[in-house]
């Protein structure tokens, strides 16, 4: 059984943090994971930096650029993760673009993920049909979860479809925006979250894209099993006081 499932057995209010591997420094990744785990974050999403992050906002784009300049790449990341594999108990999710998966060699990629303690993967630009046709079996073989996204633009029947394919949880994009747009929750997103609730999905949900503070996180928790914070977290990182800045940020959300 995948540890993501363990997580959602124990109720709601799950906090997931997204950050970019190799940012602010090439070797920050390991340290950030360790500190996040200490500060009681429930789930960690690691972004694999990409040259052309189509679906990401400015903050994540910039962190991607810096991380790439720092020399981050999948081989680097996998070997960094392997070093701390034994200490990590929170589920790790890897988020990247399909081309990175493809170019690396899909099966090698999944194999490396498995060996590095990764539990699930998100490829925001990998179409459902292609996943089902070409990769679903392979994910199962490596016991990795494929996590789907739904947005307020997604019709009900497609949400049902995606929730059936998605494993572990469903990633609910809370507002019509790329990450980091920092618009606080508006009326419209709530209508969308209500719509999701009314579908009575059998899979847990995490809300992401637009959560920046305690308020918005709590709101997300009212409608879903928790929330994902990315841009706001990345922006809060202080290169010279990684530990302090992370603790302060997480504390500002949780307490």
Partner 1 sequence: MNSYLDDKNGFYGDFGGTFIPEILWINFKELKDSYESIILDPSFNKKFESLLNNYVGRPTPLFYCNELSKKYKTNIYLKREDLNHTGSHKINNTIGQALFAKQLGKKKIIAETGAGQHGIATATVCSLLSLECIIFMGETDILRQAINVSKMKMLGAKIIPATTGNKTLKDAINEALRYWINHPECYYLIGSVVGPHPYPKIVAYFQSIISKEIKKQLQEKKGITQPNYIITCIGGGSNSIGAFYHFLENASVKLIAVESAGLGIYTNKTAATTIQGSKGVIHGSLTFVMQDKYGQIIDPYSISAGMDYPGIGPMHANLFHTQRVKFFNVTDNDVLQAAYEISQIEGIIPALESAHALAILPKISFKKEDIVVINLSGRGDKDLKNYIRHLNQFLK
Binding site for partner 1 (CB under 8 A): 50-58, 61-62, 65, 68, 73-75, 97-104, 124-127, 129-130, 148-151, 153-155, 158, 162, 173, 176-178, 181
Q: 129 CB contacts (<8 Å, ≥6 apart)?
A: none
How far is the CA of 121 from the CAs of 67, 169, 216, 249, in angstroms?
A: 20, 11, 25, 25
Question: Where in the sequence numbering do the catalytic residues fall?
Answer: 45, 56
Q: Please report how close the Cβ of residue 240 comes to partner 1 at its closest, in angstroms.
A: 25
- C-beta of 108 vs 252, nearer to partner 1: 108
> Which residue, 127 or 244, has its beta carbon nearer to partner 1?
127
Q: Residue 13 or residue 235: which is nearer to partner 1 going by CB? A: 235
Q: Which is nearer to partner 1, 158 or 247 (CB)?
A: 158
Q: What is the DSSP string of 200-247?
A: T-SS-EEEESS--SHHHHHHHHHHSSEEEE-HHHHHH--GGGHHHHHH
Q: How far is the CB of 100 from partner 1 (least distance, A)?
A: 4
Closest separation in Å from C-beta 182 to partner 1: 12
Minimum CB separation from partner 1 for residue 254, in Å? Answer: 29
Decide: 255 and 41 in contact? Cβ < 8 Å: no
Tell me the two tokens of residue 35. 């500190």
């Amino acid at each position: 059984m995948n540890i993501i499932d363990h997580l959602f057995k124990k109720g709601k209010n799950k906090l997931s943090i997204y950050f970019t591997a190799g940012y602010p420094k090439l070797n920050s990744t390991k340290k950030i994971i360790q500190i996040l785990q200490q500060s009681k974050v429930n789930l960690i999403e690691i972004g694999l930096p990409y040259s052309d992050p189509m679906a990401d906002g400015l903050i994540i784009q910039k962190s991607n650029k810096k991380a790439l300049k720092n020399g981050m790449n999948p081989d680097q990341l996998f070997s960094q993760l392997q070093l701390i594999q034994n200490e990590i108990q929170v589920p790790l999710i890897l988020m990247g673009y399909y081309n990175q998966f493809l170019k690396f060699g899909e099966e090698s990629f999944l194999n490396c993920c498995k060996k590095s303690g990764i539990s699930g993967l998100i490829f925001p630009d990998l179409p459902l049909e292609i996943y089902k046709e070409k990769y679903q079996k392979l994910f199962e073989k490596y016991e990795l979860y494929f996590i789907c996204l739904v947005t307020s633009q997604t019709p009900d029947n497609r949400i049902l479809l995606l929730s059936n394919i998605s494993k572990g949880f469903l990633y609910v994009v809370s507002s019509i925006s790329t990450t980091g747009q920092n618009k606080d929750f508006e009326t419209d997103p709530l209508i969308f979250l209500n719509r999701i609730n009314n579908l009575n999905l059998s899979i847990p949900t995490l809300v992401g894209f637009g959560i920046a503070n305690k308020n918005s996180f709590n709101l997300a928790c009212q409608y879903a099993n928790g929330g994902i914070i990315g841009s706001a977290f990345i922006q809060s990182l202080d290169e010279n006081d990684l530990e302090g800045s992370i603790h302060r940020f997480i504390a500002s959300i949780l307490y």
